[in-house]
Amino acid sequence: MKILAIETSCDETSASVVEKKDNSIEVLSNITLSSLPIHAKTGGIIPENAAREQVKFIIPVICEALLSSKEIKNKKDKKQILTLSNKILQEEIDAIAVTCGPGLIGSLLVGVETAKTLSFIFNKPIIPVNHLLAHLYANFIDIDQSNLSLRSRSANWRRERNNLDGIATSFDKLRTRNDKLDAGRYPLGAPSFPFIGLIASGGHTDLLYFKSHTNFKWLGGTRDDAAGEAMDKIARIIGLGYPGGPEIEKRAKFGKPDERFVFKSPMIGSDDFDFSFSGLKTQVMRAIQKHLRGGAPTGDDSSNGGIDENSINNICFLVQKAIVDVLIKKTIRAAKLYNVSTIVLGGGVSANETLRRQLSQKTKDKRLKTKIFFPEKKFCTDNAAMVGAYALLAGNSTSWKKIKAQPELYFD
């Protein structure tokens, strides 16, 4: 079965053709356009700007995903692109999967309404997908297959796109950033049930216990900011770029413990599976006021106000540690309590090397025979391939009339 998957829940516009062959999920194409440079200028996502970009690019991105899935390259003529895309959609695609929520309403509407239109015109079933669950299903994508070929496809698309116009929209941040195989994940194959799933992204932090694709239980989640959101906000306070997670990770490599910056891991001792990250931002602000600005409030949190490089690196090291420590502690506790030997991570924060390495190390130290799964880095942040993977393994098809964008969608 072959699916066209569409993801537009936040600032990315992504389309992918994903196929299930026996038990493997193969990504035939995955095209992701990010409006990140626009949001980097404002230090965060302005929802209306994100949706406006998505309206512009959803059709070109879908066409490119369809053509790339057949290795059709360098088509310049728009009419030809549309004719070929229609043909592939008509003849080869069995269903259309789309992220219905949670997410930004304007962004979700772009993907959902486009999917509904295609479903109606081409008479294909439509599969609604929960974005959060899809993050975990990035772990079911067959790694061997999705690797090298994507690189050349994305390079072509980038070239063509650059020829189209000069709008400052970056392509393929997923692939250009991290193309190498993640050795830890590679030999493991797909996760097996039961498992504990940790979703850590810019909008959510949740722990779930999965017995099967359809039988799972929510154990806990953040009470305020998500882990990625906390990193984004703290990065802004100390004058780093957006998104903050990768910036903090880069700086943390050069940081070390520093007695001026003692940040407590929020809720690390609590007897539940909940998280809270907004207090960490306050801890950072207070420490900066106290030790670097002599207690005088500046009223300006958008520039680093002259904080020296070493202090920034140390703050990053300690912020990352505070977040990673609590994520790991609660995830391992859940695995022990539910007696499972598989842990599955997903979401943008799961790209974090320290989180990956220390979770693997800590389970080993505790002599737990736990298999840890994290997605290939290019599938950690938002992408349509994970939406296709979920649809193929756990989705239910329905009529386009029953689908709607659900910004507040959760786990029921």
**Site for Zn ion, rule CB under 5 A:** 201, 382
Q: Is 363 in the site for ligand KG4 (CB under 6 A)?
A: no
Q: Is 375 in the site for ligand KG4 (CB under 6 A)?
A: no
Q: Which of residues 103 and 255 has its CB atom nearest to Zn ion in the complex?
A: 103
Out of Zn ion, ligand KG4, none, what residue 246 binds, judged by CB under 5 to 8 A for its kind, is: ligand KG4
Contacts with ligand KG4 by CB under 6 A: the residue count is 20
Q: Quick one: which segment of 49-57, 110-118, 181-189, 229-237 binds ligand KG4 (CB under 6 A)?
A: 229-237
Q: Which of residues 201 and 406 has its CB atom nearest to ligand KG4 in the complex?
A: 201
Interacting residue with ligand KG4 among 221, 246, 255, 266 (CB under 6 A)? 246
Q: Is 382 in the site for ligand KG4 (CB under 6 A)?
A: yes
3-state secondary structure the chain: CEEEEEECCCCEEEEEEEEEECCEEEEEEEEEEECHHHHHHHCCCCHHHHHHHHHHHHHHHHHHHHHHHCCCCCCCCHHHHHHHHHHHHHHHCCEEEEEEECCCHHHHHHHHHHHHHHHHHHCCCEEEEEHHHHHHHHHHECHHHHCHHHHHHHHHHHHHHHHHCCCCCEECHHHHHCCCCCCCCHHHCCCCCCEEEEEECCCCEEEEEECCCCCEEEEEEECCCCHHHHHHHHHHHCCCCCCHHHHHHHHHCCCCCCCCCCCCCCCCCCCCCCECCHHHHHHHHHHHHHHCCCCCCCCCCCCCCCCCHHHHHHHHHHHHHHHHHHHHHHHHHHHHHCCCCEEEEECHHHHCHHHHHHHHHHHHHCCCCCEEECCCHHHCCCCHHHHHHHHHHHCCCECHHHCCCCCCCCCC
Q: Least distance (Å) from Zn ion to the CB of residue 135?
A: 6
Q: Which of residues 255 and 375 has its CB atom nearest to Zn ion in the complex?
A: 375
Interacting residue with ligand KG4 among 53, 142, 225, 249 (CB under 6 A)? 249
Q: Least distance (Å) from ligand KG4 to the CB of residue 324?
A: 9
Q: Quick one: which segment of 150-158, 165-173, 345-353, 399-407 binds ligand KG4 (CB under 6 A)?
A: 345-353
Q: Least distance (Å) from Zn ion to the CB of residue 13?
A: 13
Q: Quick one: which segment of 27-35, 179-187, 242-250, 358-366 binds ligand KG4 (CB under 6 A)?
A: 242-250
Q: Quick one: which segment of 68-76, 106-114, 206-214, 344-352 binds ligand KG4 (CB under 6 A)?
A: 344-352
Out of Zn ion, ligand KG4, none, what residue 249 binds, judged by CB under 5 to 8 A for its kind, is: ligand KG4
Q: Which of residues 172 and 249 has its CB atom nearest to ligand KG4 in the complex?
A: 249
Q: Which of residues 54 and 201 has its CB atom nearest to Zn ion in the complex?
A: 201
Out of Zn ion, ligand KG4, none, what residue 19 binds, judged by CB under 5 to 8 A for its kind, is: none
- How many whole angstroms separate alpha carbon 361 and alpha carbon 372? 10
Contacts with ligand KG4 by CB under 6 A lie at 10, 201-203, 228-229, 231-232, 243-246, 249, 347-349, 351-352, 381-382
